[in-house]
Amino acid sequence: MAARSLFVHYRFHPITEDEARTVLAWEYPSLPTLYHPDPVDFEDDVLALLVPRYNYYAAYAEDGSLAGFCCYGDDAQVPGEIITWARSTSALASARS
Provide the residue ranges of all domains of the chain, joining segments of one domain with +: 11-96
Q: Counting Cβ atoms within 10 Å, is residue 67 exposed (0-12), middle (13-18) or buried (19+)? A: middle
The pTM of this model reads 0.70
Q: What is the pLDDT along the chain (97 residues), one digit of tens a residue?
A: 666 777 888 999 999 999 999 999 888 777 766 567 788 999 999 999 999 988 999 999 999 999 999 988 777 766 666 555 444 444 444 444 3
Cα 24 to Cα 26: distance, rounded to the nearest angstrom:
6
Q: How far is CA 74 from the centre of its chain?
A: 14
Cα 17 to Cα 5: distance, rounded to the nearest angstrom:
33
